[in-house]
C-alpha cells in the first residue's frame, strides 16, 4: 500500500510507475504476445483501489493524475494494488538478500530527475537531441536501472 501523503511513498510510486510503463511498452510493441492486462490496457496492475474504491490504474494515471499537480480539494491518500511483472528474471537468479533489499529501497527513494525519466520512457513524444551530454545522461540512467534489476 502506498500512502500518498508521504513523500518517500510518492517517489517510490513514481519509480514503480516508470518500470510499469517500460514493461507495458515492451509487452505492447516488442514481445509478440497478446495483451494480458486485467482491463485491456496493456498495464500489469490488478485489483487497484484508491481510498478503498476500485480504480482503473495505469502508469499514466499515476504519473499525471495521482502524482501530478493537485487540483482537487480532497487528495486521495491510500493506493493499493497488485502488480504482475511480465519481465522474467534470468535463469539462476537468487532472491534478494536483506542487505540488497535495503539498498534497493534507498535507490528507489531518490527522486529521478527529468532527464533520467525522459531517457528511459519509450513513449515520450519528443526525443532528446543526440549530444554527448544527453548520451551520457541516457547511459547513466540506463546503468542506474540496471543496478535496480541486477541481483547481488
Q: 28-37, 40-49, 111-120: which has the minimum mean pLDDT?
A: 111-120
Q: Which residue has the higher pLDDT, 66 or 127?
A: 66
Which residues fall within 8 angstroms of residue 90, CB to CB, at 6 or more apart?
A: none
Q: Which residue has the higher pLDDT, 72 or 70?
A: 70
> Cell digits for 95?
532472491
**Domain boundaries, given as residue ranges, for the chain:** 2-83, 98-149
How far is 66 from 13, CA to CA, in rounded Å? Answer: 10
| 122-144 pLDDT, tens digit each | 444 445 566 666 677 667 666 66
How far is 13 from 48, CA to CA, in rounded Å? Answer: 13
How far is 4 from 75, CA to CA, in rounded Å? Answer: 9
Q: Note whether 92 and 133 are within 8 A (CB).
A: no
pTM tops 0.85:
no
| 97-109 pLDDT, tens digit each | 898 888 887 777 7
Amino acid at each position: 500500500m502506498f500512502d500518498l501523503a508521504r513523500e518517500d511513498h510518492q517517489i517510490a510510486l513514481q519509480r514503480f510507475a516508470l518500470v510499469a510503463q517500460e514493461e507495458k511498452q515492451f509487452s505492447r510493441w516488442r514481445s509478440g504476445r497478446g495483451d494480458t492486462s486485467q482491463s485491456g490496457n496493456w498495464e500489469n496492475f490488478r485489483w487497484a483501489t484508491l481510498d478503498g474504491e476500485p480504480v482503473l490504474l495505469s502508469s499514466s494515471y499515476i504519473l499525471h493524475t495521482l502524482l501530478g499537480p493537485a487540483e482537487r480539494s480532497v487528495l486521495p491518500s491510500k493506493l493499493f494494488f497488485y502488480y504482475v511483472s511480465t519481465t522474467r528474471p534470468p535463469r539462476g537468479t537468487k532472491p534478494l538478500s536483506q542487505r540488497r533489499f535495503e539498498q534497493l529501497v534507498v535507490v528507489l527513494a531518490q527522486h529521478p530527475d527529468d532527464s533520467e525519466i525522459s531517457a528511459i520512457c519509450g513513449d515520450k513524444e519528443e526525443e532528446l537531441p543526440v549530444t554527448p551530454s544527453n548520451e551520457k545522461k541516457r547511459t547513466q540512467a540506463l546503468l542506474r536501472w540496471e543496478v535496480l534489476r541486477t541481483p547481488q
